[in-house]
Amino acid sequence: MFRPLSFYIGLRYTAAKRRNHFISFISLTSIIGLMLGVAVLIIVLSVMNGFDRELKQRILGMVPHATIQGAGPLDDWQSIDAKMQQHPRVLAAAPFIQGQGMVTGGGNVRGVVLNGILPEEERTVSIIENHMVEGSLNDLVSGEFGIIIGRLMAASLRLQIGDKVTVVLPEASVTPAGVLPRLKRFTVKGIFSVGAELDGNYTLIHMDDAAKLMRTGGKAEGIRLLVDDLFAAPRVSQQAAESLGGRYYVSDWTRTHGNLFQAIRMEKTMIGLLLMFIVAVAAFNIVSTLVMVVTDKTGDIAILRTMGATPGRIMRIFIVQGAVIGIFGTIVGTALGVFGALNISAFISWLEGALGHQFLSADVYFISYLPSQLQWQDVFIISGAGLAMSLLATIYPAWRASRVDPAEALRYE
């Protein structure tokens, strides 16, 4: 005799063709529901992880982790920059001048953020050098009034390398001809693409040119910091400012882009909880399946009881049957989910090309493609939750089977 007996009978009940085809249909839907629930949950959470990763690497790779500024332009920004680079938690520091304005070109106008930088120091705190489509940071030379723009801006204003653009500041200058806006002609020196909203409104110019345009007297407006721990940026920047003495103002990415990051984290949590209900519904179907199987096998249960099977053994038979459904559905669903999470980005890109329509536009969303990052921790949690709910769903039907009275069940057989 095959041992253990409860495992053997449970497997036979699972594989056997039932007289009641409706029970077989319910079993199949339970397995399919569990498979789909687990697979969809893994794929969706992987996509949310991808958005989280892109936010950190792309958006926060371009914008400052933290900045230190004074009440006005920094008189001795070189010494402050040197002190910041000596801080144990600061990986790199670079001076900057930032302002807002408009860029006109090709008959169109676009609002932009102007960033005055020193090319040799900017590459230590920014990822933009790795995303240059044309030109490089070295093309920004003091006095030449060159500008580096994003791919979306270049397409919107129909600009290419070497084209002239006019930068207009929201400040007026009093001249003999009247009050005129402050403006300056720049030459496009480079085009970058990070696949995010920054491609449409982020520009770079040399800090010396920015100082002349914004009249800071050749001084930097602030110091940009790259810290070793992204989430420690508020504390590190505050400590760094206090180490300088004097009165300085600090800002960090949690103030400028923290709402976007928190929204993604909250959406991941809420979507995960909601999709977990799909797995719970599929597990509940196992209860329905086993209850109907117990009703259908009442006579067999009574015979087993008369042959000496204990209530505990009867209970284990149906636990095995429900566990097989749950394990099979969870394993197949996990495999499908992992495969889908690893290939969803390529599939969406292919679908966009086939349909000729872009689902995610950088003009609307902060990235222009669907990212995905599979985290095995999520896979283990989802798979474990699916298995746990499947096993819990078998307890009541199995307990009900163990309570079958042999005499009552065989009375009309």
Kindly report, residue by residue over 167-188, the tens digit of the pLDDT. 988 776 665 655 566 788 999 9
Asked whether the predicted pLDDT for residue 338 surpasses 90, the reply is yes
Residue 99, Ramachandran bin (φ over 0: left; ψ between -120 and 50: alpha; else beta): beta
Residue 346 sits in the same domain as residue 397: yes
Is residue 255 one of the residues assigned to a domain?
Answer: no
**Token code pair at residue 196:** 């995010």
User: Considering only CA atoms, which of 256, 193, 261, 195 is closest in space to residue 224?
Assistant: 256
Residue 159 sits in the same domain as residue 20: no
Is residue 400 one of the residues assigned to a domain?
Answer: yes
> What are the tens digits of pLDDT across the range 185-224?
999 999 998 877 788 888 999 999 999 888 888 888 899 9
Domain boundary among 205, 227, 249: 227
Q: How far apart are CA 191 and CA 194, in angstroms?
A: 10
Largest CA distance in the chain: 113
Work out the pLDDT band at 146, boundaries 50, 70, 90: very high
Share of the chain above pLDDT 90, in %: 15
Residue 99 sits in the same domain as residue 45: no
Work out the pLDDT band at 256, boundaries 50, 70, 90: confident
pLDDT confidence of residue 1? 45
Is residue 10 one of the residues assigned to a domain?
Answer: yes
Domains: count for the chain: 2
Residue 290 sits in the same domain as residue 174: no
Work out the pLDDT band at 8, boundaries 50, 70, 90: low
Is residue 67 one of the residues assigned to a domain?
Answer: no
Q: How far apart are CA 326 and CA 180, in angstroms?
A: 74
Residue 47 sits in the same domain as residue 104: no
Residue 286 sits in the same domain as residue 186: no
**Token code pair at residue 284:** 């509940």
In angstroms, what CA-CA distances link 266 with 43, 52, 373? 17, 11, 17
Is residue 256 one of the residues assigned to a domain?
Answer: no
> Once rounded to an integer, what is the mean pLDDT over residues 232-253?
86
Which 3-state string (H, E, C) describes 180-209? EEEEEEEEEEEEECCCECHHHHEEEEEHHH
Residue 109 sits in the same domain as residue 54: no
Q: How far apart are CA 287 and CA 30, in angstroms?
A: 9
Q: 287 or 115, which is more confident?
A: 115
Is residue 144 one of the residues assigned to a domain?
Answer: yes
Is residue 138 one of the residues assigned to a domain?
Answer: yes
Q: 315 or 20, which is more confident?
A: 315
Is residue 220 one of the residues assigned to a domain?
Answer: yes
> What are the tens digits of pLDDT across the range 376-386?
888 998 888 88
Work out the pLDDT band at 335, boundaries 50, 70, 90: very high
Residue 101 sits in the same domain as residue 211: yes
> Once rounded to an integer, what is the mean pLDDT over residues 236-257?
84
> What are the tens digits of pLDDT across the range 18-61?
555 555 677 777 788 888 888 988 998 888 888 878 777 777 77
A 10 A CB-CB count for 250 gives 20
Share of the chain above pLDDT 70, in %: 87
> Once rounded to an integer, what is the mean pLDDT over residues 260-288?
77
pLDDT confidence of residue 145? 92
> What are the tens digits of pLDDT across the range 288-299?
777 877 777 777
> Once rounded to an integer, what is the mean pLDDT over residues 73-95?
88
Residue 401 sits in the same domain as residue 357: yes
Residue 269 sits in the same domain as residue 398: yes
Range of the domain at 130: 90-227
> Once rounded to an integer, what is the mean pLDDT over residues 235-240?
88
pLDDT confidence of residue 186? 93
Q: How far apart are CA 321 and CA 308, in angstroms?
A: 21
Work out the pLDDT band at 114, boundaries 50, 70, 90: very high
Domain boundary among 208, 227, 246: 227
Residue 218 sits in the same domain as residue 288: no
**Token code pair at residue 90:** 């600061």
> β-strand 178-192 against 249-252: which pairing, if any?
unpaired
Residue 191 sits in the same domain as residue 325: no
Q: How far apart are CA 118 and CA 305, in angstroms?
A: 85
